[in-house]
Structure 1
């Protein structure tokens, strides 16, 4: 097998392989050590030269294409992760996997996954009680979706002596796919905290003393000279820079007139006035600016993906300063970011600093920001042009919105779907009305709520009309997959309707009432981010009579279902009321034909494909467009 083939599989499925290594590794080094070790083992999984294919059937590789390269790299990751959990022995040869990783290495910070909640911590504790082979068996079952026979083959190839015992031990921990998809088990989505600051300070003092001694010796022994210093023409340290001092002066904060938005050519955050009952509290504003520039070790700092967290380049704009739910909150804007500083009402211990990128926000994107979250609720500050606000359940399109009273632009606390534990039974959104229409926004766990739109990409409708509400109702709960990703807007596009065979209900993982008629609906939801890249795309299948849609395919960083490439093709295995399994596939308008290969063979003219299939079969989809181009199935 070519090294290039294995490298392609490693690069394409790197997050999945790192998650597998993270689950198999023992818990003893701590979460930060497990993260770095998982990345190190995965990056070292490539064979040095051409390597024989593993003795594993290609169908059990669980890669999107069932390729041997992925199976080989996965096997090497599992083997080295198991070796890393073995104890060190004096007289035995110490393998490289047992030693702390040299790379990657981050100095001064500890990196670990975000909190997965109480359920995630409980699952992590149950997995830590298992042996290394049992953790590997559990991960191959839960993450790779392999059968017990395939898991047994992988474990045996990885050097596990008793694969059956590992499978039995792993069976004591139930598989929870929902928790595996949470940030708590994603070693590629990390948060950073400082290491032991006191120990670092003592080491720094010792290093400075040694460096000073060496400098004195060098000056005494080395030749004299009058050359420039090591920093050349650089400015003095930050605290002595006039621009930096101006950025930290609360008296120089930008404050906009309350009526500036009425006459401004721009209608965005730059024309928000300063609101709140503490806009005159100079001490509070000074603390907020100082923490922004130099957050201390006790400050919890968070930022949406792609958002820099450094200090302001100049005096920022004040949007809000006031008391909110037992805390003092300051919201600032520097043209690129929204910064939210919050401290308890009785002191500064436990202060928090949050950042969100908002460059390019227009009237709709600058409609609201989050003031605070407490007890599962969220409170918003709305734009000055917002005339009315309401709350509605996105899953109940026929129900009326509940009017909300705005006090100085601040909403009452609303249930946050991003903070709600348990199964999704409702999805509460904020409805905002201004002089140009009514729009829907939803909380996805960030400072700025995401806009919800519907329709064909490039011509999507941002109004909260009946069409938008009906389009979103079956797919509201899928918004949970887009939390904490820096999402700017999410569009739902019903791109195809497909008659179902056998004239009955059914569905992947669900059953519908007998006689549920009508066509199934294919909907593509695309989440655009503030940073431009990292878009998340879901193709969802909604059978008639069902309350919710089913995710058939998902992808990231692809142009499909977007304004640049309004094309999409996806398929799903579906069981009819008669008990027959089918491969159903649908393409967007402009698709001339659809063909399935691999585990299911079939083709059809037009954009709809219905082919009999076996339960658990996998197929590759390809569509031909009317202009002669081809399109692959969304994965």
Structure 2
């Protein structure tokens, strides 16, 4: 839920009925399961099932007013019958609290909402969660998880409370939702299935109890004893006279002395690889990069970089790609670069799992920055370059020792050719970064690297490691540097902006279908772009449609954490409403080439053999698409 979705609670109406504490208590006892179920449905899904159960009970029990209070008069059912004012008061307070739980803590405090600590309440040694439902309940829970808090609240009030939309609007407005229309619009995207809300899947009062991880609990107990002993030792060491370590530049003060930490912060123990090691190594990745740059002998700079990595101070700007641990090095890391780049001193380090970039101004350490990115299991294709510096809309890269040529290419204009970049000690001359902050996309410049007979394209997505670009059917992709691959990518280059800052490892563009358009309008292309991440989770797939003459593709459907268009599931189905030049509307749908048939239901009913479907439609019509593969398996449309 976005912070702007909930406003400060409105002042009570002068004509609202007054509810005393006893009346509210009676309503709570009578309707407790229903109120807890409402809270469970509205709470953020990111809490997890066990946390949502405990939080739903906590919010419901805290909904009791301490004094006489006012309640809105809102019908509980169609037909004009008014609900008990005590229940209306509790329902509104539960709804407000559940919506506020999705807000950041700072905003909750500013709005006067009591903060609910994320770790409380807690049941030690047990995990509590509702009984599992069937496939329909699981599907509904996943669809509700994609809605915002107000959207889930609107759906729950419709389905659980049986309120008409007019009354839903009143309840949401009283709960502080500013954009009620948007909430109702989100609820409309989850079609029907209101009866499923009464199933045990969404009942926080009918629970299954299971123990927490017993082995981990025992390990945590031992760890707590060790940590306690370490704290005692640290206290003794701090009390001893002596200067200690002291802060290193912008690093925070040290916590304690220990041999492992001292070794990790010793510049003399940094791992340095010889310049020719990669030629004979069975691996060609970041682990065989040599130490380059003019400041590899600056022990003070290297010491500051290691210290800031271990304990960044409050003035250090720290960023990390999703899924990247931000802790210090477990041991002496591998030095890849230390040198002057533009107006900064830059150090690049690698610990086998992460790449770390430390940068500070040449004239001091104020304004230092630390960037971390996952790079585990990087292969030769993904370890060709690392971002050294971004300045004035340009970016410089440090390239792998096996890279022989580097060039800049506009992915949106492949016919313009590639502009050669100079390589000095593995560092490229600056090239224009595609990462823009004004939302425009006149071009999309990428880095072209040549290694012997192989040429690859890498794109800057605002992170430390550029993402590799490929084309082709999942499972048999190829580099995106060929003429045909460049033509495939051209209309979809600007869609790369949708996956900035998500820890993307590679992006593949796959033209999975070509469809003849009605009314002699030519042929349209269907392309699926899939971004894989370093952490495995969070992969994003977009099905894009491009009509003849279109400069860019239009996103027809998309999904996150889906298997479609990937090596695990090289299939896809998507549809779009399209208007011909003659003004007629059509449903166009396409599946991958192994789709045996496509069927549309709902607002549009049609079917076709093969992987393409064209059907007359009305503007704004909605349809559900299903496909059948050649092996008989059913697939749903990407959404």
Shorter chain as denominator, the TM-score bin is: 0.5 to 0.7
Q: How far is 1:603 from its partner? A: 0.9
SS of equivalent to 2:305: helix
Q: How far is 1:99 from its partner? A: 3.2
Between 413-422 and 447-456, the greater mean CA deviation after superposition: 413-422
Residue 258 of structure 1 pairs with residue 275 of structure 2:
yes
SS of equivalent to 1:262: helix
Where does residue 534 of structure 1 map in the other structure? 538
Mapping of residues 175-186 of structure 1, within 5 Å: none
Which of these two proteins has the greater Rg computed from alpha carbons? 2
For residues 260-286 of structure 1, what are the alpha-carbon distances to aligned partners after superposition, in whole Å with 9 as ceiling and x for unaligned? 111111000011011111111100000
Where does residue 577 of structure 2 map in the other structure? 573
Where does residue 562 of structure 1 map in the other structure? 566
CA contact (8 A) 1:41 1:80 kept: no
Q: How far is 1:155 from its partner? A: 2.6
Residue 357 of structure 1 pairs with residue 374 of structure 2:
yes
Mapping of residues 165-184 of structure 1, within 5 Å: none
Distance 2:637 2:323 in 1: 29
Q: How far is 1:598 from its partner? A: 1.5
For residues 287-307 of structure 1, what are the alpha-carbon distances to aligned partners after superposition, in whole Å with 9 as ceiling and x for unaligned? 000111111111111110111
Residue 603 of structure 1 pairs with residue 621 of structure 2:
no
Where does residue 613 of structure 1 map in the other structure? 617
Distance 1:270 1:74, change over 3 A: farther
CA contact (8 A) 1:520 1:542 kept: yes
Residue 101 of structure 1 pairs with residue 101 of structure 2:
no
CA contact (8 A) 1:79 1:159 kept: no
Residue 404 of structure 1 pairs with residue 417 of structure 2:
no
Where does residue 548 of structure 1 map in the other structure? 552
Q: How far is 1:231 from its partner? A: 4.2
SS of equivalent to 1:586: strand
Residue 268 of structure 1 pairs with residue 285 of structure 2:
yes
Distance 1:494 1:54 in 2: 51
Residue 448 of structure 1 pairs with residue 465 of structure 2:
yes
Q: How far is 1:230 from its partner? A: 6.2
CA contact (8 A) 2:100 2:113 kept: no
Distance 1:74 1:561, change over 3 A: farther
CA contact (8 A) 2:95 2:175 kept: no
Gaps of 5+ in 1: 1-17, 28-36, 56-72, 86-96, 107-135, 141-149, 172-227, 505-516
Of 616, 629, 632, 1:625 maps to 629
Residue 24 of structure 1 pairs with residue 6 of structure 2:
yes
CA contact (8 A) 1:419 1:445 kept: no
Please give the TM-score of this superposition, normalised by the length of structure 2. Answer: 0.67
Where does residue 368 of structure 1 map in the other structure? 385
Where does residue 218 of structure 1 map in the other structure? none
SS of equivalent to 2:282: coil
Distance 1:74 1:573 in 2: 40
Where does residue 345 of structure 1 map in the other structure? 362
Of 477, 494, 504, 2:494 maps to 477
Distance 1:161 1:275 in 2: 59
Gaps of 5+ in 2: 10-41, 61-74, 79-90, 104-110, 121-149, 155-163, 183-223, 235-254
CA contact (8 A) 1:453 1:460 kept: yes
Distance 1:578 1:337 in 2: 56
Distance 2:181 2:597 in 1: 45
Residue 488 of structure 1 pairs with residue 505 of structure 2:
yes
Where does residue 525 of structure 1 map in the other structure? 529
Q: How far is 1:239 from its partner? A: 3.8
Residue 155 of structure 1 pairs with residue 159 of structure 2:
no
Please give the TM-score of this superposition, normalised by the length of structure 1. Answer: 0.67
Distance 1:583 1:408 in 2: 55
CA contact (8 A) 1:522 1:541 kept: yes
For residues 301-346 of structure 1, what are the alpha-carbon distances to aligned partners after superposition, in whole Å with 9 as ceiling and x for unaligned? 1110111010111100100001112111100000000000011111
Distance 1:347 1:629, change over 3 A: same
Distance 1:487 1:84 in 2: 27
SS of equivalent to 1:478: helix
For residues 104-163 of structure 1, what are the alpha-carbon distances to aligned partners after superposition, in whole Å with 9 as ceiling and x for unaligned? 369xxxxxxxxxxxxxxxxxxxxxxxxxxxxx99x99xxxxxxxxx99775334245999
For residues 445-478 of structure 1, what are the alpha-carbon distances to aligned partners after superposition, in whole Å with 9 as ceiling and x for unaligned? 0000000000000111115110110110000010
Distance 2:424 2:615 in 1: 58
Where does residue 457 of structure 1 map in the other structure? 474
Residue 414 of structure 1 pairs with residue 431 of structure 2:
yes
SS of equivalent to 2:462: coil
SS of equivalent to 2:301: helix
Distance 1:161 1:354, change over 3 A: closer
Residue 294 of structure 1 pairs with residue 302 of structure 2:
no
Where does residue 112 of structure 1 map in the other structure? none
